[in-house]
Amino acid sequence: AGSRLQHEYVPSAHLSAACTCLAWAPAGARQPPSKDGPQRKKRKSEVGEVDKQLDILAIGTAVGSILLYSTVKGELQSKLDGGHDSRVNCVRWHQDSCCLYSCSDDKHIVEWNTQTCKVKCKWKGDNSSITCLCISPDGKMLLSAGRTIKLWDLETKEVYRHFTGHATSVSSLMFTTVKPMNESKPFDGITGLYFLSGAIHDRLLSVWYIRSDRKEKNAVMSFTVTDEPTFVDLTVSEVKEEPVKLAVVCRDGQLHLFEHILNGYCKKPLTANCTIQIATPGNDGDSTPKPVPILAAAFCTDKQSLLLVYGNTLQPIIEKVSLNTSESHICLVRDIQKVLSLKTDAALTKVRSTPVVNSDTKVLVPGIPGHSTAVKTPASGKEKKKNKRKPGETEESIEERLGALDIDVSKVKTPGGLPQTDSFAVLLVQGLESNDAEILNKVLNTRKENIVKNTVARMPIHAVIPLLHELTKRLQGNPYSASVMVRWLKSVFTLHASYLSTLPDLIPQLGMLYQLMESRVKTLQKLSRLHGRLFILVTQVAASQTVQDVPEVNQTAKLVYEDDSSSSEGSDDEMIADKDSDENWDEDEEKEEQSDEQDMTVEKEINGDSDLEPENESEEE
């Protein structure tokens, strides 16, 4: 309640085996020797909250061992070894308390007996690493998830149901109902229940329904949030008409509250009933309010108020807030600086401001092992520094300092040289954030396919939408730049399609781009038709020229014979010949026109175009 640190435990191997996950044992999970401890606690706490009675904490580590720590005794009770050979991702206690389940990157699920500290059972749970577990309300089933979600029967250790799951690894799994909605059939402990799952880099939380048959594997509904969910808490629905309340804390520091009665399929993702943010007042010195990240949130036992954890992870502030969900967006103003500054000032008074340095001491420069620098005696101000420097000694240049740090200066300077793909990604993000046309031109005008691909692959996800907006803007420019931008578009869509599909407002975001493409592509058919006609015309002109060119080869007669008597007959003959040739030409033209029309119809059929009915055209468009 006072946001004070009550207990701190650092495992002896905390550097080599970092803690990866933890879980409180159920309130009854106590080994016989520690019976007197909890009773003393109970007398102190008249509130009777569950947290006060909790004692044993299971801590999973990065090397595969699990530590059982007693908070009442303040010591390590036992260590569970030999189950996993890589990082433990999740630990869950069974309701009967002496049984613990854990999953790991080694693809196995282990059932532990915590009293004997031995592995009770171990089985392969997936083809990839398993990241999350959840035990059913009656304790007979177990949910496990890597990317796909499986429901296991704990007696037989066989898969009871499969669910599609998420594209990325699942980070949270929890049951949302205790009893099925339709109470007509007898309840077998699992059929008819709903459970919730969330995954990393996924902005949709999915709700799944356990059916009596195996047919349906997809989610029945989903909740959409603004960023990847980092902390999820919910109130379990125990009565038929009671809505499930859901509190989701996102990576961006916002808290989303949902309230929904789970009753079957819902096609559209549900948006938050209420979003809570915390900001500083922004009055003294700094006039702009700054956001304060919310780290976690949990419902109190009355289901009406929330415990919020916000601020710095080292010194979080915990506060109880009563819910008023009539407003869709609440911003709480908290002066976090005052609370923290009081604590830090009090703590710092005992520390000496300057360390005592012996003249023989060798000081190591951070970064490169084995490097040492001359010891400079501590100086508080600039005047002292000036006095300390010997007469005639000049200050070291930055180049010399870099040399001392063994950084190759020639590598740092790359004037005019093309930056590499990783620096391209950095440049691109900088250009998008600062809207710097020069940087953007330099990056976006690259024509090399592999550079474009690598840059798009290495850029952070939050820069995808700004990049799409920038490309849309540039596509409206001249056709030359559009042809370059299309390469970028192609790689953005191929590499980040899964992220884009999770955005709830994708259609308005990409509407402009879609219209641009439509308008560009719309003229393609007409242009290709025009191209076809022009091609036929040009070939005809060329053909007619070649036909005309043939008689011009020898126009001068080699021998002329004139006969006076038959000159009149000859002229008649010539006339007839002329007529014939004219008729021939007409026939040729008619034939060509016919073939022309045939070509046109064929081309229309190829283009999937026909001038028969306007409805067909619109359908085809």
Per-residue pLDDT tens digits for 26-50:
876 555 443 333 333 333 333 334 4
State pLDDT tens for residues 363-407.
665 555 555 555 454 444 444 444 455 555 667 777 777 777 764
Rounded (10°) angle between helices 464-475 and 421-434: 80
Contact 356, 375 (CB under 8 A): no
Q: Of 133, 126, 117, 172, which is closest to residue 148 (Cα–Cα)?
A: 126
Which residue in this structure is represented by tokens 């108020």? Answer: 305
Which candidate, 40, 66, 71, places its Cα nearest to that of 54?
71
**0.75 exceeded by pTM:** no
Question: Mean of the pLDDT values across residues 72-92?
Answer: 91
State residue 175 phi and psi, 5-degree precision: -75, 140
Specify the pLDDT at position 418: 54
Mean pLDDT of all residues in 576-593: 56
| Non-local CB neighbours of 475 within 8 Å, separated by 6+ positions | 481, 482, 485, 486, 489, 513, 516
Is the model more confident about 423 or about 598? 423
Dig out the tokens for 191 from the structure: 């059929």
Whether pLDDT at 72 is above 80: yes
Work out the pLDDT band at 124, boundaries 50, 70, 90: very high
Give me the mean pLDDT over the 111-138 stretch: 91
pLDDT in tens, 434-443: 888 888 888 8
Structure confidence at residue 248 as a pLDDT band (50, 70, 90): very high
Q: Identity (one letter) of the amino acid at 318?
A: I
- Categorize the per-residue pLDDT at 328 as very low, low, confident or very high, splitting at 50, 70 and 90: confident
Please determine, for residue 570, whether its predicted confidence score (pLDDT) is greater than 70: no
Contact 64, 86 (CB under 8 A): yes
pLDDT surpasses 70 at 566: no
pLDDT at 580: 55
501 pLDDT band (50/70/90 cuts)?
confident
Please say if the pLDDT value at position 537 is more than 60: yes
Confidence at residue 242, expressed as pLDDT on a 0 to 100 scale: 82
Classify the C-alpha dihedral 435-437-442-447 as positive or negative.
Answer: positive
Provide the residue ranges of all domains of the chain, joining segments of one domain with +: 424-521
pLDDT at 523 over 50: yes
Between 279 and 185, the more confident residue is 279
Percent of the chain with pLDDT over 70: 72
Q: Over the stretch 158-213, which tens digit does the pLDDT of each residue have?
A: 999 899 999 999 999 999 888 887 777 777 878 888 999 999 999 999 999 988 88
Per-residue pLDDT for 422 more than 90? no
State the Cα–Cα distance between residues 341 and 141, nearest whole angstrom.
Answer: 49
> Token pair 């992870």 is at which residue?
313
Let me know: does 115 contact 93? Beta carbons within 8 Å.
no
Highest mean pLDDT among 231-240, 544-553, 603-612: 231-240
Question: Helix/strand/coil (H, E, C) string of 184-219?
Answer: CCCCCCCCCCEEEEEECCCCEEEEEECCCCCCCCCC
Rounded CA-CA distance 258/351 in Å is 47
> CB within 8 A of 621, min separation 6: which ones?
522
Residue 408: both structure tokens together: 């190759």
User: Average pLDDT over the chain, rounded to whole?
Assistant: 78
Nearest to 247 by CA among 183, 176, 189: 176
**Nearest-angstrom CA–CA distance, 200 and 192:** 27
- Identify which has the larger pLDDT, 550 or 506: 506
Percent of the chain with pLDDT over 90: 26
Of 425, 424, 404, the closest CA to residue 414 belongs to 424
Q: How far is CA 405 from CA 95, 328, 366, in A?
A: 57, 54, 9
